[in-house]
């Protein structure tokens, strides 16, 4: 992968959208420019979890402006990620197509724990070096992430389905703040945090940091209004939170809340954010929380930078999965080598996507047998479930879905992915993986003849040396069955043999007959 001197990260949060442009010097990132717009995407979720038209319009208008700033950036120098609201929105896929068109770059929807990992990566790079365990808490618009880590490595990751926007809408509709509503909000948040309290309590870490806009707002409010008699220096403390609760309840309405440090665009979501922060302090035993400058977008930038320096978290995850699920590494290597040989030929028609797609093919080849650790019978189904549902650090949901589909369909009936796999690129990857596993069914090192493959719309062509199929009747039978399988999806799969003396090729197997 090429290395770039300038990188950009786009964070499509549930509350605000952010763009960070940074300069790369060695292995460090230095901010150049940033944009932030309060979109409140989570506020546009209807009761049946669909994004309404107004929230989509706000988001698309913002992304068009971001897209203008990013105009001229190479594709691999920009990474855009979507978080909780895009994870839960039922019409998220349809919206993403419009969002990508507006931004001009692909958008990855990341899982909650992957979001937590990236947040910690951004925070850890902004803090002084320390050997202490650190708690990082990030209150977003629709979810809240908790991470315990040491130095640059996260140790425990969790994402809870509660955020400043969702809680403000649920418990403080129209900005009304009552004692009963605050009690219900804090109890609901405490109930969520209780589920992780055993692993995230203060006995497991020495320092606590808040990385979100909510944490920064609460810290400023406590300091500027002297809500902690001992002096907070911008930190969040139990005394400061208790006194701010009194402010909120006395105001009774967010429109009547006049207090230093609270921006007007933050005010509508501060009651929900406060309830979540208060619950975390109570349940986890937090006595003081400092501010951290880094956050998700900085983590995205450092993760992107790591890919240029051969420190791709996805590669580490693949190796860990191979060890965890005791994958036969020799067989994985055989299948990977042949799959990449075939895939490289098939993807020549897609030069812009070749590097990314071959990477996906490599991962699928190495992980296609993880399901054998569950049971050999139907192992491809177990593999698909694991890769589609496990926490895979570094991978987006779309990347995991591709791996899941490839492993599900790498053997057996191909019709199982009818209507799901629709892109020519994915059919090319699937064809390469199916043939590679077919050729290495013996699970021993064999010397394959020169193989040439070609794809043209709904046609596949495999060219091999003359007499090879006759000398390998098991492979011949399997390839004949493969021809029939691809026919069920409307593909014509032809097999040709190279005639001796450079006399051309002869079709020996075909969907429509020889």
Describe the strand order of the beta sheet including 207-210 as a list of residue ranges.
153-160, 144-150, 133-139, 207-210, 290-291
Q: What average pLDDT is seen over the chain?
A: 92
pLDDT in the model for residue 485? 94
- pLDDT digits over 394-443, tens only? 898 889 999 999 999 999 999 888 888 888 999 999 999 999 999 999 99
The whole-number pLDDT of residue 229 equals 83
| Mean pLDDT of the region 245-263 | 94
Mean of pLDDT values over 63-84: 95
Q: What mean pLDDT do residues 51-63 have?
A: 97
Report, as an integer, the average pLDDT of 196-217: 95
Where does the pLDDT of residue 128 fall: very low under 50, low under 70, confident under 90, or very high at 90 and above?
Answer: confident
Tens of pLDDT, residue by residue over 22-49, are 998 877 888 999 999 999 899 999 999 9
With a CB cutoff of 8 Å and minimum separation 6, the contacts of 200 are: 135, 146, 148, 156, 158, 284
Neighbours of 175 (CB within 10 A): 16
Give me the residues paired with residue 497 across strands. Answer: 464, 506
Instruction: State the DSSP code for 118.
Output: H
Q: What domains are defined for the chain? A: 6-109+298-307 (3.30.420.40), 128-291 (3.30.420.150), 310-509 (1.10.3210.10)
Residue 510: is its pLDDT beyond 90? no
- Report the 10 Å Cβ neighbour count for 427: 20
| Rounded Cα–Cα distance for residues 211 and 207 (Å) | 13
User: How far is residue 225's CA from residue 259's CA, in Å, rounded to a whole number?
Assistant: 7
Reported in sequence order, the residue ranges of 26-121 that DSSP labels E, i.e. its strands, are 28-38, 78-82, 107-109
Q: What is the mean pLDDT of residues 198-220?
A: 95
Q: At what angle do helices 424-439 and 397-408 cross, to 10 degrees?
A: 50
Stretch 233-251: mean pLDDT: 95
Token pair for residue 337? 């080598």
- Return d(Cα 357, Cα 467) in angstroms, integer: 33
The predicted pLDDT at position 511 comes to 74
514 pLDDT above the threshold of 80: no
Task: Please state the pTM of the whole predicted model.
Answer: 0.82
Q: How many Å apart are CA 468 and CA 451, to the nearest integer?
A: 11
CB distance 78 to 8 below 8 Å: yes
**What is the mean pLDDT of the segment spanning 174-186?**
96
- pLDDT of residue 183 exceeding 80, the answer is yes
- Alpha-carbon distance 44 to 92, whole Å? 12
Q: How many Cβ atoms sit within 10 Å of the Cβ of residue 450?
A: 10
403 within 8 A of 365, measured Cβ to Cβ: no
Which DSSP letter does residue 414 get? Answer: G
Q: In what order do the strands lie in the sheet with 452-456?
A: 452-456, 459-465, 492-498, 505-509
pLDDT of residue 1: 47
pLDDT higher than threshold 70 for residue 98: yes
Q: Is pLDDT above 70 for 362? A: yes
Q: What is the pLDDT of residues 442-468, one digit of tens each?
A: 999 999 999 999 999 899 999 999 999
Contact present, 198 and 285 (Cβ < 8 Å): no
Confidence bin at 329 (pLDDT 50/70/90): very high
Most confident of 229-238, 273-282, 505-514: 273-282
pLDDT tens digits along 477-492 = 999 999 999 999 999 9
Burial (0-12, 13-18, 19+ Cβ within 10 Å), 458: middle
Judged against a pLDDT cut of 90, whether residue 512 lies above it is answered with no
Using H for helix, E for strand and C for coil, what is the string for 364-388? HHHHCCHHHHCCCCCHHHHHHHHHH
d(CA 352, CA 348): 9
Given a contact cutoff of 8 angstroms between Cβ atoms, the answer to whether 300 and 118 are in contact is: yes
Beta bridge partners of 134: 149, 207
Q: What is the CA radius of gyration of the chain?
A: 27
- Rounded to whole angstroms, the Cα distance separating 90 from 92 reads 5
Q: Which band of pLDDT confidence, cut at 50, 70 and 90, is reported for residue 313?
A: confident
Is residue 189 within 8 Å of residue 143, measured between CB atoms? no
- pLDDT computed for residue 2 by the predictor: 53
The whole-angstrom separation of Cα 437 and Cα 366 is 11
Residues of the chain above pLDDT 90, percent = 81
Q: What order of strands is seen across the sheet that includes strand 28-38?
A: 28-38, 16-25, 6-12, 78-82, 107-109
The pLDDT value recorded for residue 364 is 97
The string over 47-67, giving b where at least 16 C-beta atoms fall within 10 Å of a residue's C-beta and e elsewhere, is eeebbeeebbebbbebbeebb
Region 159-169: what's the mean pLDDT?
95
The pair of structure tokens assigned to 23 is 């300069």
Q: What is the pLDDT of residue 360?
A: 96
Rounded Cα distance between 383 and 369, Å, is: 6
The DSSP symbol for 75 reads G
> Does residue 101 surpass a pLDDT of 60?
yes
Asked if the model's pLDDT at residue 384 lies above 70, the reply is: yes
Give the Cβ contact number of residue 187 at 10 Å.
11
């Amino acid at each position: 992968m090429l290395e770039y001197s300038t990188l950009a990260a786009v964070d499509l949060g549930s509350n605000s959208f952010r763009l960070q442009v940074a300069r790369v010097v060695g292995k460090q990132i230095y901010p150049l420019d940033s944009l932030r717009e309060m979109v409140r995407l989570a506020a546009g979720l209807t009761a049946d979890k669909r994004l309404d038209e107004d929230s989509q319009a706000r988001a698309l208008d913002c992304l068009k402006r971001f897209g203008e700033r990013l105009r001229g950036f190479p594709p691999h120098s920009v990474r855009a990620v979507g978080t909780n609201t895009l994870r839960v929105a039922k019409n998220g896929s349809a919206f993403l197509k419009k969002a990508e068109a507006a931004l001009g770059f692909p958008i990855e929807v990341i899982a909650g724990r992957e979001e937590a990992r990236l947040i910690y990566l951004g925070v850890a790079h902004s803090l002084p070096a320390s050997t202490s365990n650190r708690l990082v808490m990030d209150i977003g618009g629709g979810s809240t992430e908790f991470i315990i880590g040491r130095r640059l490595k996260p140790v425990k990751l969790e994402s809870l389905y509660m955020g400043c926007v969702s809680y403000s809408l649920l418990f403080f509709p129209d900005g009304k703040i009552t004692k009963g509503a605050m009690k219900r909000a804090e109890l609901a948040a405490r109930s969520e945090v209780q589920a992780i309290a055993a692993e995230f309590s203060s006995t497991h870490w020495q320092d606590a940091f808040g990385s979100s806009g909510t944490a920064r707002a609460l810290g400023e409010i406590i300091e500027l209004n002297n809500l902690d008699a001992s002096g907070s220096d911008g930190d969040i403390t139990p005394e400061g939170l208790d006194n701010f609760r009194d402010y909120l309840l006395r105001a009774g309405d967010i429109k009547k809340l006049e207090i230093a440090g609270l921006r007007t665009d933050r005010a509508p979501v501060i009651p929900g954010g406060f309830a979540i922060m208060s619950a975390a302090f109570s349940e986890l035993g937090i006595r003081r929380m400092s501010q951290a400058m880094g956050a998700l977008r900085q983590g995205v930038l450092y993760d992107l930078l790591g890919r240029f320096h051969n420190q791709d978290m996805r590669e580490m995850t693949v190796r860990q999965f191979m060890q965890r699920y005791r994958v036969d590494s020799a067989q994985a290597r055989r299948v990977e080598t042949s799959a990449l040989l075939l895939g490289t030929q098939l993807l020549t028609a897609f030069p812009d996507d070749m590097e990314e797609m071959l990477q996906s093919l490599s991962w699928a080849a190495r992980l296609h047998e993880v399901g054998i650790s569950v049971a050999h019978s139907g192992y491809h189904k177990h593999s698909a479930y694991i890769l589609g549902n496990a926490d895979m650090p570094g991978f987006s949901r779309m990347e995991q879905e591709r791996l899941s589909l490839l492993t599900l369909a790498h053997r057996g009936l191909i019709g199982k992915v009818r209507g799901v796999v629709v892109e020519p690129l994915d059919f090319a990857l699937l064809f390469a993986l199916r043939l590679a596993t077919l050729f290495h069914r013996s699970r021993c090192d064999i010397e394959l003849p020169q193989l040439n493959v070609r794809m043209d719309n709904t046609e596949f062509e495999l060219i091999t040396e003359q007499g090879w199929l006759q000398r390998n009747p098991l492979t011949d039978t399997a390839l004949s069955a493969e021809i029939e399988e691809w026919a069920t999806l409307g593909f014509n799969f032809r097999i040709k043999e190279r005639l001796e003396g450079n006399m051309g090729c002869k079709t020996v197997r075909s969907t429509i007959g020889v």
